[in-house]
A and B are shown apart, each in its own frame.
Chain A
Amino acid sequence: MSQQASQFALPVEGDQIPVLAVHIDRAAIVRYCGASDDYTNVHWDQDHVKAQGFPDVIVHGWLVFAYMTQAVTNWIPREYAAITDFAVRYRRPVYPGPMSCGGKVLKRHEENGVQRIDLELWTKSGDGVTTTTATMTLEAN
C-alpha cells in the first residue's frame, strides 16, 4: 500500500470538491447517539422537539459535519493530508432525509515548507437550502 504524498496531485484554488450525497434516517441518528454518547433529546424525542416548535427530530450537527469531512477525505485521503483546523456553522436545523455536501478550494499556500489547503464547505438539504457551512484547512503530509 502506497502512502506517499508525492504521488498525489494537490488541488489548486477554485477546484471543486466532488459532491457527496447522503441520506440520514432515524436509524443513523440512533447509531450516532450510541457511538458518540450524545443522547441530547432534540435528536430522538419527537414529542419534545414538536413542543419546541421544530417539525422533526434534529440530526446531530457533528454528524452532518462528519459527512462534510468525508466529502473532503474521499477526495484527498487522510494518508495524504491532515485536517488541522475547521470552523463549522450550523445555520439551520437538519432533519432526517437527503442532503448533499460539497465545497471548493479557497487557496493553497506554503507555510514553513508545508503545503496548506484552505477549503470552503457546505451542506444542502434535499430542498436545496444551505443548512451548514464550514471552513477547513488541510496540511499535506
Chain B
Amino acid sequence: MNNEIDAILERLRGRIGREGPPISKTVEQGALIKFAKAIGETNPLYLDVDYAKASRFGVIIAPPTYVSTFVQLALTPDLFDLNLPLKRFLHSDDVVKNYLPIKAGDIITAQARFTDAYTRAGANGPLVFQAVEIALTNENSEKVSNIRVVSVNFH
C-alpha cells in the first residue's frame, strides 16, 4: 500500500512547475447575467444593466464565484492527473484571493500551474491531493485573482 502511494506521489511531483498555456477570454455581459441567474443571485449589480451603470462600477460585475469559470478554461488535461489507481476523484478545496472585481468587457487571461502533490491518511485509506494554481490578470496586466484548486483521490 505504501509503495503504491509513494509511486503515485513521485509521479505527481514530477508535474510540479508544469504550466498550462495562458488562455484569454473577454467577459461578456450576457454571460455574467446568465451565470448570476444560474446561481440564484438577486442583487441587481449582477443582473440589471441600468442599476450597474449607476453604481460605482459603471457596468455589470461578476458574482464572487465567477472566477471558477476560468478554472475550467485553464485546466488542461496534463495538469491534474485523472488516471490514478485511486479511482475516485473529487474537488477538495478552493482558496481564492481577489485583487480586483471582474467587470463586463474585461479581457481576462488565466494561466494554470501544477504546484503541489501530497498524501494524508483518511478514515478509509490514503488520500492523495493535487494542487493547481490559476492566476487571473486583466488586459492591463493587473492581477485580478489567484485561485488554488485542490483535488483528492481515494479508493
Contacts and interface: CB of A to CB of B under 8 A. Distances in A.
- Physical interaction between A and B: yes
A36 B38 contact: yes
Given A85-B96, A88-B93, A78 B65 contact: no
The interface residues of chain B, by DSSP majority, are classed as: mixed
Contact of B41 (A70, A87, A90): A70
Contacts of A70: 39-41
Interface in A77-130: 77-79, 82-90, 93
Contacts, number: 92
A93 B35 CA distance: 22
Contact of B38 (A32, A58, A65, A83): A32
Interface string A57-82: 01001110111011001000111001
Interface string A29-50: 0011011111000100000000
Q: How big is chain A's contact interface, by range?
A: 35 or more
Contacts of A67: 39-40
B90 interface: yes
A90 B129 CA distance: 13
Q: How big is chain B's contact interface, by range?
A: 20 to 34
A89 B93 contact: yes
Contact of A61 (B41, B88, B91): B91
A34 B56 contact: no
The interface residues of chain A, by DSSP majority, are classed as: mixed
A22 B69 CA distance: 22
Interface of A: 1, 3, 22, 28, 31-32, 34-38, 42, 52-53, 58, 61-63, 65-67, 69-70, 73, 77-79, 82-90, 93
Interface of B: 31, 34-35, 37-41, 43, 45, 51, 54-56, 61, 63-65, 68-69, 72-73, 87-88, 90-98, 101
19 contacts: A1-B51, A22-B40, A31-B38, A36-B35, A36-B68, A37-B69, A52-B88, A69-B63, A69-B64, A70-B40, A73-B64, A82-B101, A85-B96, A86-B95, A86-B96, A87-B94, A88-B93, A88-B94, A93-B90
